[in-house]
Amino acid sequence: MLALRMRLDQLIYSQGFGTRRHCAALIGAGLVAVGATVRTDPAVEIAALSGVTEFTVEGQTWRFHERAYLLLHKPGGYECSRRPSAWPSVYNLLPTPLRQRPAGGKALGVQALGRLDQDTTGLLLLSDDGHFIHRLNSPRRHVPKVYRVTTRHRLDPAQIERLLQGVVLDDDPRPVRAAAASMVGERHLQLTLTEGKYHQVKRMVAAVGNRVEALHRSRIGALDLPADLLPGEWRWLTAGQLALLK
């Protein structure tokens, strides 16, 4: 991996620490250090290596990432929207620099790859890489997503078979099929989908005569939600995890 040579004010701006003018002012005030060295010249060039180069802004230590690739364990009670209507935004779980990362000249921050309902928990990916977002969201890619479903009523083999054979939803005459479905308990189902229709899991389960009581996404593609990542916590994707998705 090659290091990027960047002006220091551009570097910290790219990481979401404010406007270019604000970043230059922070540097001039002696509030930015690269490694252990305080820098006061905004124009000084820094060799920045993604995931490696560490700097400090007003006492906050941060690591440079050319692109943001994140995973978050979404808890219940959060909306995947920057303008939530009734519940807190899932973006509030991220530190301010990630919410302010510039994209296309605007401070847009990272974006969620596929929304989860406010009552749905589990694996949520976020990024500021538009190509990466499009590739994983595209229905042509058929990226599998695995859900653990708790149902209101007891499941039976006929319901599982109907999910596998396909059910018709009210907005599409074509049957929608589960890529995989299996009972893991009387009221617990593991369901794999490769499409991303609105409220798809809940609507498919309703179509076979049951109802979703709780929904948790445990896997996207070959990436599992880490067992040690607690609800509300986030982390950068490692190179190995990113390779599983790419």
Reported as a single tens digit per residue, the pLDDT across 147-159 is 999 999 999 999 9
Structural domains of the chain, with CATH: 4-63 (3.10.290.10), 69-139+223-245 (3.30.70.580), 144-220 (3.30.70.1560)
Mean pLDDT to the nearest integer, 4-17 = 96
The pLDDT score that the predictor gives to residue 171 is: 75
The pLDDT score that the predictor gives to residue 109 is: 79
Global pTM reads 0.92
Comparison of pLDDT for 96 and 137, the residue scoring more: 96
Give a three-class secondary structure readout of the chain. Answer: CCCEEEEHHHHHHHCCCCCHHHHHHHHHCCCEEECCEEECCCCCEEEECCCCCEEEECCEEEECCCCCEEEEEECCCCECCCCCCCCCEHHHHCCHHHHHCEECCEECCCEECCCCCCCCEEEEEEECCHHHHHHHHCHHHCCCEEEEEEECCCCCHHHHHHHHHCEEECCEEEEECCCEEEEEECCEEEEEECCCCCCHHHHHHHHCCCCEEEEEEEEECCEECCCCCCCCCEEECCHHHHHHHC
Mean pLDDT to the nearest integer, 220-240 = 97
Active site residues: 117
- Please check the confidence at residue 107 and state whether its pLDDT lies above 60: no
The pLDDT score that the predictor gives to residue 106 is: 52
Q: pLDDT tens digits for 51-64?
A: 999 999 999 999 99
